[in-house]
Amino acid sequence: MKKIDLKHGSFLKEMVATTSNLYRLGWDERNGGNISYLLTEEEVRPFLDVNHVIRQIPMIFDASQLIGKYFIVTGSGKYFKNVADDPAANLGVVRVANDGKTLDLLWGLENGAVPTSELPSHFMSHIARLEVDPENRIIMHNHASHLLAMTFTHDLDEKAFTRTLWQMCTECLVVFPEGVSIIPWLVPGTNEIGEATAAKMKETRLVMWPQHGVYGAGKDMDEVFGLIETAEKAAQVYTYVQAQGGVKQTISDENLWKLADAFGVAPRVGYLEEK
């Protein structure tokens, strides 16, 4: 079967649009931030010969639970601002090889490029999310500015952090009723930070990396982008509120319960005062 140019693939278009938008928003400066998108073989086959491996790339993580899975990922050291002009140099389609510790490169990552250094963290989070949500496909990391700033000024208590975001924008409780998780500061690109993030991903789709950024997960690109976008908007409002002299009134727990009932969501147990 004749292969279609990958530029016509919806998954590539999504990656290009999202990386461009993240750079436009200032959440992915320089080579900051990374995305991995779980693909099906049916999505890949119209564009690529899955039997043609360009080269193999070793990993520092055993991803045996993902053997045979396909991903489109951002490259290490690559700037999101350049993705639209040259996707093949900045992105790659890879498959986890049979040993679980090697990637088969099927497209992209030209000139010897490799996937993001955060790929072990991404894979650990994919594994964790798939255990609780078999439809999970996206892991996204960026440096959303106001959320990042909050990790310097707000108590790093998950309940308190979550409640503040819920109280800043009515939409927040509806969008992330399970709340936001927070890990300690850890060196990025290590298995240690990946393991800590993955453990939290079993409970929430948003994980804060203090003084660094945020990890988000979900079923598709719009869900994950919207998830982070909503939390970031709440953090921005919090920043304005603090600059204006602090909170004088906000959404009460009683009203948050009414909101939860109206939209059919279940707030994380213990995060709101009982009705």
Indicate if 98 and 221 belong to the same structural domain: no
Residue at which a domain ends, from 86, 116, 146: 116
CA torsion, points 237, 242, 243, 246, in degrees to nearest 10?
120
Per-residue pLDDT, averaged over 56-84, amounts to: 96
pLDDT of 60? 87
pLDDT interval class at 274 (50, 70, 90): confident
Beta strands per DSSP E along 90-223: 91-96, 102-108, 138-142, 181-182, 206-209, 213-218
Indicate if 43 and 164 belong to the same structural domain: no
Q: What percent of the chain has pLDDT over 70?
A: 99
Indicate if 17 and 79 belong to the same structural domain: yes
Q: What is the CATH number of the domain that holds 7?
A: 3.40.225.10
Q: Is 126 annotated as a binding residue?
A: no
Indicate if 7 and 125 belong to the same structural domain: no
Residue at which a domain ends, from 77, 92, 116: 116
- Report in angstroms the alpha-carbon separations of 244 from 238, 241, 249: 10, 5, 13
Indicate if 105 and 124 belong to the same structural domain: no
Indicate if 221 and 107 belong to the same structural domain: no
Instruction: Give dist(CA 74, CA 109) in Å, integer.
Output: 9
Q: Is 122 annotated as a binding residue?
A: no
Indicate if 66 and 123 belong to the same structural domain: no
pLDDT of 175? 98
Catalytic residue ranges? 118
Residue at which a domain ends, from 84, 101, 116: 116
Place of tokens 């890990």: 183
pLDDT of 7? 80
Split into its structural domains, the chain has a count of 2
pLDDT interval class at 3 (50, 70, 90): low
Indicate if 133 and 32 belong to the same structural domain: no
Indicate if 102 and 122 belong to the same structural domain: no
> pLDDT per residue over 90-110, tens digit each?
999 999 999 999 999 999 999
Per-residue pLDDT, averaged over 41-70, amounts to: 95
pLDDT of 5? 82
Indicate if 256 and 240 belong to the same structural domain: yes
Radius of gyration of the chain (CA): 19
Indicate if 100 and 202 belong to the same structural domain: no
pLDDT interval class at 148 (50, 70, 90): very high
**Domain that residue 244 falls in:** 118-275
pTM assigned to the model:
0.95
pLDDT interval class at 2 (50, 70, 90): low
Instruction: Give dist(CA 211, CA 188) in Å, integer.
Output: 11
Indicate if 99 and 195 belong to the same structural domain: no
